[in-house]
Amino acid sequence: MLCRSVNREESSKSSSVKIPKPGAGQVRIKVQACGVCHSDVLTKEGQWPGIQFPRVPGHEVAGIIDELGASVSAWKVGERVGVGWHGGQDGTCPSCRRGDFRNCRNLKIPGIGYDGGYGQYMVAPIEALAPIPETLSDTEAAPLLCAGITTFNALRHSGALPGELVAVQGVGGLGHLGIQFANKFGYKVAAIGRGAESGTLAKNLGASAYINSEATNAAQALQELGGAQVILATAPSSKAMSALIDGLQPNGKLIVIGVAFDPIEVTPVQLISGSRSIQGWAAGTAADSEDTLRFAELTGVRPMIETYPLEKAAEAYARMLSGNATFRGVLTM
């Protein structure tokens, strides 16, 4: 079996490992496609606390169930399924006991807690599985299982109402899906990007306004549009996020989904005046993934992708990291 087993020293070698066997409550998936997500740096750079190497990255997985573990009755061999960031919950922590599986304190994440989708096979617990609708291809479904669900779920829980101004910062892997979902939810969408080039793309995706943050003060531009009820911050730049806070209208909310490690800077006065808030959001459960896939099927939201064979995983990863990929890199097996 060929897989991409990544650690800090051996980042570009492929390696063969035994085809895994599913345990009780698990299935084995023959991977068809796996999206390359910015959060894969947590695996590659060992930034996730306590991560054990070697570890196969990948948490945007589309594939076919090819073996059932013991006591699995609700799924069948041959069924097409997706696995996203939410790779399983413990069912017993304080969050799970309250039904808040998304925030399980011992969340299992594919590619971090166990081997993910940069390989031909992977094993996942059944609570991580979402059925893939027939009209979505594997390569279309894969990015919807992390980039898609994260933007979809953050927006549908944002409190913004149809017709209100929602800004999407970043027109990349997350942002290009966020713009489409925001448009389909009936918001007035302002996309914020660096440079003039992304403007046409953003408008084609459903933005009614495009703000070039290199040429204008983006917060001021949002205020000229009436102020944003929600700003969905997707680009992993704390500096860029900090610069947008003054673009919120009263009671507006900055929702942070782009992962960065340096602090967002904000003064208490910026938040107190107008009762503005900042919230983080992480993906969602497999049921949320299922909602995302069905909504995409219903409304035509699709990721823009460029595919790479598994052997070129390192190339796809480097392209994602460069910040220049307008399209979502997807590995195919």
Binding site for Zn ion (CB under 5 A): 37, 39, 89-90, 93, 96, 104, 146
Closest approach, Cβ 283 to Zn ion, in A, equals 7
Q: Of the two residues 86 and 188, which places its CB atom closer to Zn ion in the complex?
A: 86
- Closer Cβ to Zn ion, 176 or 276, answer by number: 176
CB of 42 to Zn ion, least distance (A): 9
CB of 143 to Zn ion, least distance (A): 9
Q: SS3 letters for the chain?
A: CEECCECCCCCCCCEECCCCCCCCCEEEEEEEEEECCHHHHHHHCCCCCCCCCCECCCCCEEEEEEEECCCCCCCCCCCEEEECCCCCCCCCCHHHHCCCHHHCCCCCCECCCECCCCECEEEEEHHHEEECCCCCCHHHHHHHHHHHHHHHHHHHCCCCCCCCEEEEECCCCCHHHHHHHHHHCCCEEEEEECCCCHHHHHHHHCCCEEEECCCCCHHHHHHHCCCEEEEEECCCCHHHHHCCHHHEEEEEEEEECCCCCCCCCCCHHHHHCCCCEEEECCCCCHHHHHHHHHHHHHHCCCCCEEEEEHHHHHHHHHHHHHCCCCCEEEEEC
Contact 250, 272 (CB under 8 A): no
Tokens of 330: 């997807």
Nearer to Zn ion, 38 or 276 (CB): 38
Q: How far apart are CA 138 and CA 120, in angstroms?
A: 14
Nearest distance in Å: CB 326, Zn ion: 17
Nearer to Zn ion, 89 or 139 (CB): 89
> In the complex, what is the shortest distance from the CB of residue 328 to Zn ion, in angstroms, rounded to a whole number?
10
Q: Which is nearer to Zn ion, 140 or 164 (CB)?
A: 140
Calpha distance 138→307 (Å, rounded): 11
Nearer to Zn ion, 108 or 203 (CB): 108
State which residue, 71 or 92, has the beta carbon closest to Zn ion: 92
Q: How far is the CB of 146 from Zn ion (least distance, A)?
A: 3
End-to-end distance of the chain based on CA atoms, in angstroms? 11
Quick one: 37 or 305, whose CB is closer to Zn ion?
Answer: 37
Q: Which is nearer to Zn ion, 55 or 276 (CB)?
A: 55
* Least separation in angstroms between CB 145 and Zn ion: 8
Min. distance of Cβ 275 from Zn ion in angstroms?
Answer: 31
Least separation in angstroms between residue 104's CB and Zn ion is 3
Residue 332: other Cβ atoms inside 10 A: 17
